[in-house]
Amino acid sequence: MKHLLIYLVTLCSLASCHTPQTAPATGTAATEDSCRQHLLDSILQYGLDREALFTILGDVKPMSSVVSFTYPIANADSSLRTSANVLNRAEQGRFLDELCAIQDLMNELDFPDLRFIVVPYRSAYGNKRTIQVSAVRISALDSLLKAQESFFGQFGLVPGADPNVVAAVIENTGSYERFRGYGYLFGYPDHAVDFFVDASLTLDRSGTFVERAFFNIPVYAGQEGYFVYANPASYAPSDVDSSLYYRAVDVLDRYETLRSQYLNADSTLRAFHLLQDFFSQP
């Protein structure tokens, strides 16, 4: 699926960010529309089959990763840090066009209480920068910002804040604040967020890795490794963990039933159609 996404993004980028000099032929326009629909369905399917399900079709997680893309667009040349001319359009422009195709599609999505945002990671690896597409449930985000105002308030983030702003602020803050902020946004219990931040601090200060056990919540794509968080190695799951688990599984069970009704002949999912029908229900 990840390779298919990359292929579709490349294929559709030409249709998204360039205005043709003349109106395209009907066949060309139909092909472009089909390409964009395939790309949109592929992105949504990738997220729905994983932990984004619990944001898109439920309110288990205020925010979830949908899919990420990595492009060679970051500045790896320190001599260019004061320059306005960093990227070479002839060499790297196609990556920006691909990103433009993704951004356009996410901007066009309009479902009640949902936003799809595109956030570049602050850290780069050489010339590679990862771009994260995430889903945000607005009401759950507002509730979180209020419930955890003693943390989010320090950044001026309050209920009603734009999800893009919230994600960008947390992405670009200090390491421990970033860990805590994302922990809350991604719907992990308070005890798991506290543990991860404390364990990271211990590792940084003493070089000692804190042993841990992982609590996994299943998604359509697999039983482990998707919606997962760390607890102390000796930790016994509590009622908080159990409640979160069963809330998520209830959403997953409903999705599995619904999903079978929207499959194409090649087993890909008509994900956008599924969401249209889901949100049009009274």
Please give the residue range of the domain that contains residue 94.
2-173+244-280
What average pLDDT does the chain have? Answer: 92
Residue type, 103: Q
116 in a domain, yes or no? Answer: yes
User: From the CB of residue 88, how many other CB atoms can be counted at a distance below 10 Å?
Assistant: 8
Q: Which pair of tokens denotes residue 218?
A: 């299943």
Please give the tally of structural domains in the chain.
1
**Under 8 Å between Cβ of 52 and 135:** yes
Residue 4: pLDDT band (50, 70, 90) is: low
227 in a domain, yes or no? Answer: no
25 in a domain, yes or no? Answer: yes
131 in a domain, yes or no? Answer: yes
Q: Is 30 exposed, middle or buried (0-12, 13-18, 19+ CB in 10 A)?
A: exposed
**Under 8 Å between Cβ of 110 and 60:** no
Residue 212 and residue 234: Cα distance in Å, rounded? 8
188 in a domain, yes or no? Answer: no
Position 23 scores a pLDDT of: 41
**Under 8 Å between Cβ of 262 and 273:** yes
Residue 267 and residue 260: Cα distance in Å, rounded? 9
Position 180 scores a pLDDT of: 98
Q: Which pair of tokens denotes residue 127?
A: 């010339």
pLDDT tens track for 90-106: 999 999 999 999 999 99
* Predicted confidence (pLDDT) at residue 7 exceeds the cutoff of 90: no
Within 8 A by CB and 6+ apart from 192, the residues are 183, 215, 229, 230, 231
- The answer, as to whether pTM is greater than 0.95, is no
Mean pLDDT throughout 9-16? 54
84 in a domain, yes or no? Answer: yes
184 in a domain, yes or no? Answer: no
Higher-confidence residue: 14 or 21? Answer: 14
pLDDT tens track for 111-168: 999 999 999 999 999 999 999 999 999 999 999 999 999 999 999 999 999 999 999 9
239 in a domain, yes or no? Answer: no
pLDDT tens track for 175-219: 999 999 999 999 999 999 999 999 999 999 999 999 999 999 999
Residue 167 and residue 16: Cα distance in Å, rounded? 25
